[in-house]
Amino acid sequence: MTALIIHGHFYQPPRENPWTGEIDRQPSAAPYHDWNERIHSECYGPNAFAHIGAASEVINNYRNISFNFGPTLLSWLDQHQPRTYKRLIEADKQSASTRGGHGNAIAQAYGHAILPLCNDRDRLTQVAWGIADFKFRFGREPESLWLPETACDDETLALLIEHGLRYVILAPDQASHIRKTGSDIWRTVPPGAIDTTCAYKYVSGKGSIGIFFYHGSLARAIAFEGALKSSTGLVDRFLEIARAGELVNVATDGETYGHHFKFGDLCLAHALEVQAKQAGFWVTNYGEYLDHHPAEIQVKINLGELGEGTSWSCAHGVSRWTRDCGCYTGGQAGWNQRWREPLRKALNFLRDSAAANFESASADLLRDSWEARNAYIQVLLSPDSWANFLSVHQGRMLSTTGETRARTLLEIQRFSLLMFTSCGWFFSDIAGLEAVQILRYASRVLELQKELGLESPRSQFLEMLAEAKSNDPRKGNGAEIFVRFAEQDRTLDPTVTV
pTM, two decimal places: 0.96
State the chain's mean pLDDT as an integer.
96
**497 pLDDT higher than 70:** no
Which H/E stretch holds residue 247?
strand 247-253
The whole-number average pLDDT for the span 216-233 is 97
Q: What is the pLDDT of residue 206?
A: 84
Which H/E stretch holds residue 347?
helix 340-362
pLDDT band at 498 (very low <50, low <70, confident <90, very high): very low
Domain boundaries, the chain: 3-301, 328-488
Residue of 432, 363, 405 whose CA lies nearest to 28: 432
What's the one-letter identity of residue 344? Answer: R
E-strand spans in 275-398?
282-283, 297-301
Architecture of domain 3-301: Alpha-Beta Barrel (3.20)
Query: 157-216 pLDDT, tens per residue?
Result: 999 999 999 999 999 999 999 999 889 999 999 999 999 999 999 999 989 999 999 999
How far apart are the C-alpha atoms of 327 and 307, rounded to whole Å? 18
66-69 and 3-10 beta bridge pairing: parallel
Q: How many helices (H) and strands (E) does the chain have?
A: 20, 14
Distances (CA, A) of 5 to 199, 235, 276, 412: 12, 12, 11, 40
**472 pLDDT higher than 80:** yes
The whole-number average pLDDT for the span 254-271 is 96
**Count of all residues that appear for the chain in the document:** 498
